[in-house]
Amino acid sequence: MKTMEHDHRVLITNDKPEALAPLFKERFPDLTIRFLSDADTLDATLAEFNPTVIFAYPGEPVPKSKFPVMINHPSVQWISNSGAGVEHMGQWNSKEKIVTNASGVNAPFLAQYAIAAHMSANIGMPLYARQQRQKLWRMEEWQPFDDRRFCIIGLGNIGQAVAGYAKALNLRVVGTRGIARPTPNVDEVYDSDNIMRALTGAEFVSVHTALTPETKGMISDDAFAAMADGAIFLNASRGAVVDEDALLRALDSGKVKTAILDVFQQEPLPKDHPLWEHESVIVTPHMADSVKDWHVNNARAFCDNLDRWLAGDQLQNIVDPKKGY
């Protein structure tokens, strides 16, 4: 059922409203929109403004711990999370509240990060960076990608984008998804109960699955044991998907040759954490999809969904509270 713009009040939490305001003014000149850039004013704003729709950037400026407060405010009907993960949202009644995420909006860019990282590690760039600091001139041979097993854990929007790049490089692509079904650019698809079959003999492992109770800690000692010796491992999903102690054991034993990690169980990564100092680890600060203008990309995607909302059409990227994605 179509609703009128005056029926809704939209709250946008973002610490750089000046960059987004022109876009919203152009797209929705008659809609009541308010920007919130100070987390300390959230409770008062909710009470006074009573938004029906919230578009929120986690941590910018509202911390993730405040998201359950927003979704459970009585006036809120729909909250759009500007990231893909919604594990910070808590529980909600899907019959009364709608939660959407930004899954797929920046998938091509995160996939570029992932495939570039695998390529860099395969060539040996981390080793050469260490040698450069030592002013050491020593060449090592490297093995081409052709027909090597590349395993993608989580064939969602991001995983499928990674698969496209991997297949173009002539890798043998395997992967997992909730239900095994033919997937473009993937040679073997396994359901989530058969992750070990997908990982067996994998020389490259790229993790892009959502964090759910079922996936928490799923990359364990057994998972690392299933991989090929000297595997290259990348996690750009959520830190809690990986057992970090098991990863350290795999690195120390040489089972994993190089780990590229963009996410961690605790962020920022504590300064005394051993992953900082491990010579076989590349740490990036949860920036895999932080491309130029990503805030605007996500805002445009929200605007498209807001058009659907106002027209009474089905929203895209509705999150199932039972699955978490």
Tens of pLDDT, residue by residue over 245-291, are 999 999 999 999 999 999 999 999 999 999 999 999 999 999 999 99
Distance CA 154, CA 186 (A): 12
Q: What is the pLDDT of residues 284-308, one digit of tens each?
A: 999 999 999 999 999 999 999 999 9
- Of 299, 301, 324, 309, the C-alpha closest to 60 is 299
- CA-closest candidate to residue 235, choices 286, 302, 185, 160: 286
Q: State the DSSP code for 73.
A: S
Share of the chain above pLDDT 70, in %: 98
CATH class of 5-105+292-311: alpha beta
Integer-rounded Cα Rg, in Å, for the chain is 21
Distance in angstroms (rounded) separating the CA atoms of residues 227 and 318: 34
Residues 6+ apart with CB under 8 A from 133: none
Structure confidence at residue 30 (pLDDT): 95
Contact by Cβ (8 Å): 267, 250: no
Specify whether the CB–CB gap between 282 and 126 falls below 8 A: yes
CA-closest candidate to residue 251, choices 224, 284, 219, 286: 224
pTM (two decimals): 0.89
Strand 172-177 with 98-100, pairing: unpaired
Please check whether the two domains, 5-105+292-311 and 107-283, share a CATH topology: yes
Q: Is the dihedral of CA 236, 242, 248, 253 positive or negative?
A: negative
For residue 291, which of 114, 162, 113 has the smallest C-alpha distance?
A: 113
For 21, the 3-state DSSP assignment is: helix
List beta partners, residue 81: 56
Let me know if 286 is a catalytic residue: yes
Per DSSP, the three-state class of 151 is strand
Hey, CA dihedral for 142, 146, 152, 157, is it positive or negative?
positive
Length of the chain: 325
Could you state, in order of their start, the residue ranges of all structural domains in the chain? Answer: 5-105+292-311, 107-283
Catalytic residue among 88, 197, 273, 286: 286
What is the distance between the alpha carbons of residues 153 and 209, in angstroms, rounded to a whole number?
6
pLDDT of residue 323: 77
**Phi (first) and psi of residue 292, to 5 degrees:** -55, 130
**Average pLDDT over all residues of the chain:** 95
Helix H or strand E encompassing 134: none
Query: What local confidence, expressed as pLDDT, does residue 1 receive?
Result: 45
User: DSSP labels for 275-308?
Assistant: HHH-TTEEE--S-TT--TTHHHHHHHHHHHHHHH
- Determine the Cα–Cα distance for residues 133 and 136; give it in Å rounded to an integer: 8
Give every residue of the chain whose pLDDT is below 70, as ranges.
1-6, 325
- The answer to whether 267 is a known catalytic residue is yes
The alpha-helical segments, DSSP class H, found in the chain are 17-27, 42-49, 67-71, 107-123, 125-133, 157-168, 195-199, 221-226, 244-253, 274-277, 294-311
Catalytic, out of 238, 277, 300, 308: 238
Catalytic pick among 96, 130, 181, 267:
267
Determine the pLDDT at residue 26.
97
Angle at 116 (CA atoms; ends 290, 166), nearest 5 degrees: 115
Between 1.10.1370.40, 3.40.50.720, 3.20.20.10, 3.30.70.20, what CATH number should domain 107-283 receive?
3.40.50.720
